Structure 1
Amino acid sequence: MLRTTFCEALGVEHPIVQAGMGPFGSGCELAAAVSNAGALGSLGGSARSPEDLRQQLAVLRTLTERPFAVNFTQPWLQQHPESFDIALEMHAPVVSLALGDPGDLPARAHEAGALFIQQVHTVEQALLVAERGVDVIIAQGTEAGGFGGEVSTVALVPQVVDAVGPVPVLAAGGIADGRGLAAALVLGAQGVNLGTRFLASEEAAISDEWKRAILAAGSQDTVKVDVWDDIFGKPGGGAFDVVPRALETPFIEQWQGHRSDAAIDASRLQGEIMSAIQQQNMERFVPFTGQSAGLIGDILPARDIVRRLIVQATEALESTSRLYS
């Protein structure tokens, strides 16, 4: 068994977090399955109505008695602060945040008895959120799916570890198997945060078409979708400067090459993407997927993904130890 300070702080068996991948990927079934396997499952809380968020949390409580997180993005909470209130009112054990300055949210979570996890993409962001009093920091490299920065995981993680210690740091980006978990621990992280690997799970609430596309993809088939900023604009109010990584689609290919036209037609394109999120067919538009897709060759139950990660990581660390014994 691999246990780190992250495990002790969060009350979980394994140093693995399933990323909060929004409403299209991370529902209560996936979060519960990961938590029941001894890791930390996450419910994607952004882009959900208050009623849907309450319902998902209520169902999640019936599916697991173990710790779980509710994940939000900072731009979403800027527009919908009631979502954070709902998570605290319903006694979420952990709240996690991505894409911006958390402000006083960690203090509010602590007052409600919850722990707070924050994702960052640079050392400067890590120092900022450490000052805000977060309990755990996710250092996410550019390889990750969804919204991210430009620094690679291998370069970013040890820098963040050095900058914010003793705050536990999790590695994210480009990790899909136990070798990646072992590498993260060697870099000084206390665990990993995985998104794409859990998208390719039986419980993930995305289409079979998207899952099959992940299995078929190589790492080079994921691209940074810079045109996103032309369609949605850059958020302000302390939001981090990030753009999504996704599997390339005809939609992305068309508009990446015509960014000025996308800006002119932004209102319509926003509507198409938001409708795709609600109708769960994002695979036709911007299917968030990381470079770790090249490592994924099967769709498994979430519990089997967790177990495989631990077995592979243990084997990798034991194999490495023989190099110097």
Structure 2
Amino acid sequence: MLRTPFCELLGVEFPIVQAGMGPFGSGSELAAAVSNAGALGTLGGAVRSAEDLRQQLALLRSMTDRPFAVNFTQPWLQQHPESFEIALELHSPVISLALGEPGDLPARAHAGDALFIQQVHTVEQAILAADSGVDVIIAQGSEAGGFGGRISTLALVPQVVDAVGPLPVLAAGGIADGRGLAAALVLGAQGANIGTRFVAAEEASVSDTWKRAIVAAASQDAVKVEVWDDIFDKPGNGAFDVVPRALETSFVEHWQGQRSVAAAERSRLQGEIMAAIQQQNMERFVPFTGQSAGLIADIRPARDIVRSLVEEARAALKGTSRLDDEKPRYE
């Protein structure tokens, strides 16, 4: 068995969450496949029109009768509050939030019979989230793909566990196999939130080019895209200070070295990136990917990924239990 109190709370078999990655891979097909495999699948709700969100949720409902989450970002909900209402209206069992303070969203989720998961990047953010009444906290380390902070997973997770316990904490960032899941549990987390490994799933809605790039990448190929802050305004109103991590492309390499020019041409570059998101060819620009890419060697069905995570974690924990538990003899 590989069960934690998180599993009981969420009604899932395994302590694994497929990360909410906006429109980048986390559509209804992937979310349903992960949930049907016994973990918690997530539909990326940010950067979706109201009509698309309704359609994706209806499709997801038709593909699984197991728990799933809908993920939003705080800046998106600031501009599109109707998205949150749609998630509640369509009875999403779990709502998760990233990139900013939750405010009254946990209470509103609870009023709609939904659980609320909050992603954080610092201990201070975790305490704020706990005080806001969230049900689960994701402590995301800087290794993660997409938007993240500056503190590594190994340092962040145990601090958050200590700060907000007994509230369930999930580890995120740099986890792509069962050894990482086992390490998260040893750090005191009750499971793992995993993104990049599921971007390289057969059911993920990104292009095969993006998936193959993940398989071919080394960890050092996933870089912090600092120029993003020169192209886009920093969101305010409780948003977290984050910078995206992505595979280095010719676009990233070029503009990272010309940040002042990028700032001067920000309107044009914003348009190019937003068009890439809409046209689903973001792999040419900023393909969000974590350092765990170096651990990923193939493109597999989501069900197989979940099974491997569980089997490898069990083996790793069993191996750890064989260590000599005699008291050490110090000189």
Structure 2 letter corresponding to 1:195: G
Distance 1:89 1:80 in 2: 15
Unaligned runs of 5+ in 1: none
What's 2:235 paired with?
A: 235
Q: CA deviation at 1:284?
A: 0.3
Q: CA deviation at 1:267?
A: 1.0
What's 2:289 paired with?
A: 289
What's 2:143 paired with?
A: 143
Structure 1 letter corresponding to 2:191: G
What's 2:159 paired with?
A: 159
What's 2:127 paired with?
A: 127
What's 1:80 paired with?
A: 80
Structure 2 letter corresponding to 1:82: E
SS of equivalent to 1:193:
strand
What's 1:253 paired with?
A: 253
What's 2:180 paired with?
A: 180
Distance 1:31 1:178 in 2: 20
Structure 1 letter corresponding to 2:213: A
What's 2:90 paired with?
A: 90
Distance 2:38 2:287 in 1: 28
Q: CA deviation at 1:260?
A: 1.1
What's 1:101 paired with?
A: 101
Q: CA deviation at 1:261?
A: 1.1
SS of equivalent to 1:201:
coil
Q: CA deviation at 1:232?
A: 0.7
Distance 1:265 1:70 in 2: 34
Distance 1:131 1:222 in 2: 34
Distance 1:256 1:244 in 2: 13
Q: CA deviation at 1:263?
A: 1.1
Report whether the alignment pairs 1:267 with 2:231. no
SS of equivalent to 1:21:
coil
SS of equivalent to 2:314:
helix
What's 1:317 paired with?
A: 317
Distance 2:142 2:263 in 1: 24
What's 1:59 paired with?
A: 59
Structure 1 letter corresponding to 2:181: L
SS of equivalent to 1:46:
coil
Structure 2 letter corresponding to 1:262: A
Structure 2 letter corresponding to 1:98: A
Report whether the alignment pairs 1:48 with 2:65. no
What's 1:39 paired with?
A: 39
Distance 2:67 2:129 in 1: 23
Report whether the alignment pairs 1:210 with 2:210. yes
Structure 1 letter corresponding to 2:145: G
Offset from partner CA, 1:244-275 (integer Å, 9 cap, x none): 00000010111111111111111111111111
Distance 1:192 1:159 in 2: 16
Structure 1 letter corresponding to 2:174: G
Q: CA deviation at 1:24?
A: 2.3
What's 1:191 paired with?
A: 191
Distance 1:125 1:263 in 2: 29
Structure 2 letter corresponding to 1:139: A
Report whether the alignment pairs 1:24 with 2:15. no
Structure 2 letter corresponding to 1:3: R
Offset from partner CA, 1:175-233 (integer Å, 9 cap, x none): 00000000000000000000000000000000000000000000000100011111111
Distance 1:117 1:21 in 2: 14
What's 2:200 paired with?
A: 200
- The number of aligned residues is 325
Distance 1:240 1:24 in 2: 20
Q: CA deviation at 1:128?
A: 0.4
Distance 1:25 1:202 in 2: 10
Unaligned runs of 5+ in 2: 326-331
SS of equivalent to 2:2:
coil
Q: CA RMSD in A?
A: 0.6
Distance 1:260 1:115 in 2: 43
The farther-off stretch of 258-267 and 4-13 is 258-267
Q: CA deviation at 1:25?
A: 1.0
What's 1:169 paired with?
A: 169
Q: CA deviation at 1:241?
A: 0.1
Distance 2:152 2:21 in 1: 20
Offset from partner CA, 1:25-45 (integer Å, 9 cap, x none): 100000000000000000000
Offset from partner CA, 1:118-173 (integer Å, 9 cap, x none): 00000000000000000000000000000000000000000000000011000000
Structure 2 letter corresponding to 1:199: V
Structure 2 letter corresponding to 1:235: P
Q: TM-score, normalised by structure 2?
A: 0.98
Distance 2:148 2:114 in 1: 26
